[in-house]
Amino acid sequence: MTKSIIAGATGLVGLNIARQLATQKEQTIALVRRSVDGLPERTEILEIDFQQFLISGKLPLCDHLYLCLGTTIKTAGSRSAFQIVDFDYALGIAKKAREAGATGLSLVSSVGADARSTNFYLRTKGQLEVAVKSLGFSRVNIYRPGLLRGKRSNSRFLEGVGQVVFRFIGPLLVGPLSNYRSIQADLLAQTMIDNADKGEGVNYFHFKQFNTN
């Protein structure tokens, strides 16, 4: 039976992955910083201090890592704090999963991610993409969604407004611009699960490759 680990299991995408994997009776471990409600009963919870865990912690044997860690600069409080979560913690967990035997990695990145971007957010996302590709996973699936739609546990006013706006202008985004369309988090989660065991090497997924039906 496949054993998957979800980093960022309390976030919008990670929580949807946990719920969908639970219906498939797959062994799932959720990495969390504190005790939380809302995760499926079948999900094993591993509560960790990320900073200390990356120094001395070990993950149990696993097959696949869903890497959904992420915050915002506003929530983190500064660029440096944001980078600790979105790059340092994310990369550190990916390394731990590889050491624990994982051969597959599914990463939630962002449309426009580029390690050479002048935009700090997109540059950080791009740098993480580059870093995880060098860890030796047999299969790295990188997902670059636009704005994620869905109900969050912590309300973000501007993001909520953006969800409404992008729902209406999405059909107007065609050709290369279609990559910037918003996507329901549960549909992205479903896409990630469906492709977890398919193909080898590094694969990029944009809006056109998402399960949108």
Catalytic sites, residue numbers: 121, 125
Q: Degrees (nearest 5) of the Cα angle 180, 198, 87?
A: 55
181/42 Cα distance (integer angstroms): 33
Residue type, 125: K
Cβ atoms of residues 68 and 141 within 8 Å: no
How many other C-beta atoms can be found within 10 angstroms of the C-beta atom of residue 55? 9
| Contact in structure between 125 and 146 (CB atoms under 8 Å) | no
The tokens for 112 are: 């426009």
CA count, 13 A, side-chain hemisphere, 151: 1
CA-based torsion, 17, 19, 20, 25: positive or negative: positive
CA distance 20 to 16: 6
The token duo for 159 is 């993001």
Query: For the stretch 137-158, what's the b/e string if a residue is b when 16 or more beta carbons lie within 10 angstroms of its beta carbon?
Result: bebbbbbbbbbbbbeeeeeeee
